[in-house]
Structure 1
Amino acid sequence: MDTVNIHQAKTHLSRLIERAAKGESFVIAKAGKPMVKVVPLTAPEAAQVKRVGFLSGQVRVPTDFDRMGEEIIDALFSGQS
């Protein structure tokens, strides 16, 4: 993500608005310290972004998951082919 200092933001506001309108996000910084993040209005809200658990109840993990491929892994670590 691009960072723009506040002086550049004031000088090139129209260009920055066009970039944001096209979907590009950027940060405006003051004296090198990030102050705000500019995102397009079409960007998803934090509450809309799904994270861990989004497939809850839709995926079945085998009961022997932690032992799958055990023989092959043991052979590889013991130097056997």
Structure 2
Amino acid sequence: MEVVKVQQAKTHLSALLARVEVGEEILLARGDRVVARLVPVDPRPRRLGSGSYRLPDSFFDDLPAEELDAWEGR
């Protein structure tokens, strides 16, 4: 992760934002002290191995009662 001083960030903000939009994270420093991190708001899916994976929306649905009972040992 690159560390960029505040003055440089102010001068090159558009270029830094373009890099963040494609997934980079950039640390902002005041002097030698890192004070903030620029990260994408809606990051691209993280790569796992050679591909990427997203959980389907149904993953967050409530479990059926019988499966829930099995998980809870009933």
Shorter-chain TM-score range? 0.5 to 0.7
Q: Identify the residue that residue 26 of structure 2 maps to in structure 1.
A: 26
Which structure shows the higher strand fraction? 2
Assess if the C-alpha contact under 8 Å between 1:26 and 1:38 holds in 2.
Answer: yes
SS of the residue corresponding to residue 28 of structure 1 reads strand
Runs of 4+ that moved beyond 6 A: none
Q: Percent identity?
A: 36
Larger radius of gyration: 1
How many residues of Structure 1 are paired with residues of Structure 2 in the alignment? 44
- Structure-1-length-normalised TM-score: 0.51
Offset, 1:32: 1.1
- Structure-2-length-normalised TM-score: 0.55
Where does structure 1 lack aligned partners over 5 or more consecutive residues? Answer: 45-81
Cα deviations by residue, 1:20-66 (Å, 9 ceiling, x for unpaired): 0010001000011001011111239xxxxxxxxxxxxxxxxxxxxxx
